[in-house]
Amino acid sequence: MTPNDFTTDDDLRDYRACRLCPRRCGVDRTAGGIGVCGESAELRIAHACPHFGEEPPISGTRGSGTVFFCGCSCGCFFCQNAQISRQHAGTARTPAEFERLCRDLLGRGVHNLNFVTPDHYWPHLRAVCRRLRAAGHTEPFVFNSSGYELAERVAGYAEVMDVFLPDFKFADPELAARCLNAPDYPATALAAVRAMVAAVGFLAPWDETGAEMARRGVLVRHLVLPGQVENSLAVLRLLHREFGPELPLAVMSQYRPMPACAGRPPFDRAVRAAEYAAVCDLAEDLGFHRVFLQQLDDDEAFLPDFTRPGEPFAGNLRASPNP
Ligand code: SF4
Ligand code: SF4
């Protein structure tokens, strides 16, 4: 980050001896140091667009103003966004350019601003969101994240963020160790989601059709992985035990094997219909009733291509009150 156009020490401090996420790398990103997320303190953005593939109360009819940051502190080997999270395709932006991107999206009438994998760029994001609020923008700000966040940072996030869309990928520490070298993922994500729910509650207002847009709250997403049904069932049981059946959920079938999955069965195939059905069945049995599902035949529609002009995604989530 060049401390040119914003510039409180506060904005910079968190990048020095960086401990912004549970990796706690301790590198000085302002001096070009690179931690697990793969990004220095230079703000790098892969794409910004109105996105129509989020859940209906997030995308609505005019789209969610989505900003995709480069890098990710998780580094899942199967990452569906590998072009930007692991290969770091994107463009360096000054804070002023980032703010302009956000203003341009808002000017296009999007329902909200949606920041994807934002935790490692939190100082930039906090500063720009504060400036947008000070300028009178009232649209919800969405923190769209991996779930692998520090619970103690959530209250700070919630000072400027309205909606949280955390993933909850793993209940199985061994699987989390295998996929992203983070056996602490389940405990860390649970503490983070707990803190998010405490800060902003469940997603509200709840209108699965998208006629009324979400203004505040938490929606948890779970991506079903091939050959990992037991992990998915354990995730649902854990979420049910902790938050009860009112918790808004998105259960996603969109996994597609990426080149890095070659030779790593069962990650080298798509999710089978029976696997996805088993997870949806348990969601129903547990009484979750605010649930978004996907159709397996949506196929490649959800696989982003950040080289495609315009929207990198083509798919859309479908609401199902009765999974
Ligand atoms: S944000 Fe990046 S550098 Fe900082 S602790 Fe997390 S992975 Fe490490
Ligand atoms: S958390 Fe999401 S974006 Fe990050 S590496 Fe894993 S799958 Fe990719």
Mutation choice for ligand 2 from 85, 222, 224, CB with most ligand atoms inside 8 A: 85
Mutation choice for ligand 1 from 14, 23, 145, 185, CB with most ligand atoms inside 8 A: 23
Q: What is the pLDDT of residues 6-48, one digit of tens each?
A: 556 677 889 999 999 999 999 999 999 999 999 999 999 999 9
Q: Which atom of ligand 2 is nearest to the CA of 82?
A: 8
The verdict on the CB of residue 150 being under 6 Å from ligand 1 is no
- Looking at ligand 2, which residue's alpha carbon is closest to its atom 7? 79
Q: Which atom of ligand 2 is nearest to the CA of 78?
A: 7
Q: In this structure, is residue 108 part of a structural domain?
A: yes
Kindly give the distance from the C-alpha atom of residue 266 to the centroid of ligand 2, in angstroms, as a whole number.
18
Q: In this structure, is residue 26 part of a structural domain?
A: no
Share of the chain above pLDDT 90, in %: 81
What pLDDT was estimated at residue 316?
45
The verdict on the CB of residue 64 being under 6 Å from ligand 2 is no
Kindly give the distance from the C-alpha atom of residue 241 to the centroid of ligand 1, in angstroms, as a whole number.
31
CATH number at residue 131: 3.20.20.70
Q: In this structure, is residue 19 part of a structural domain?
A: no
| Whole-prediction pTM | 0.92
What pLDDT was estimated at residue 317?
44
Query: Which of 47-61, 177-191, 284-298 has the weakest average pLDDT?
Result: 284-298
What pLDDT was estimated at residue 318?
42
Q: Which ligand is nearest to the CA of 75?
A: 2
What pLDDT was estimated at residue 3?
40
The verdict on the CB of residue 41 being under 6 Å from ligand 1 is no
Q: How confident is the model at residue 50 (pLDDT cuts 50, 70, 90)?
A: very high
**Range of the structural domain that residue 121 is part of:** 42-320
What pLDDT was estimated at residue 118?
97
The verdict on the CB of residue 72 being under 6 Å from ligand 2 is yes
What pLDDT was estimated at residue 306?
67
Average pLDDT of 237-265? 96
What pLDDT was estimated at residue 138?
97
Between these two residues, 119 and 90, which has the higher pLDDT value?
A: 119
Q: How confident is the model at residue 215 (pLDDT cuts 50, 70, 90)?
A: very high
Q: In this structure, is residue 10 part of a structural domain?
A: no
Q: In this structure, is residue 22 part of a structural domain?
A: no
What pLDDT was estimated at residue 313?
63
128-152 as b/e, with b when 16 or more CB fall inside 10 Å? bbebbeeeeeebbbbbbbbbbbbbe
107 pLDDT more than 90: yes
Q: In this structure, is residue 2 part of a structural domain?
A: no
207 pLDDT more than 60: yes
Count of structural domains within the chain: 1
What pLDDT was estimated at residue 191?
98
Q: In this structure, is residue 12 part of a structural domain?
A: no
Q: In this structure, is residue 28 part of a structural domain?
A: no
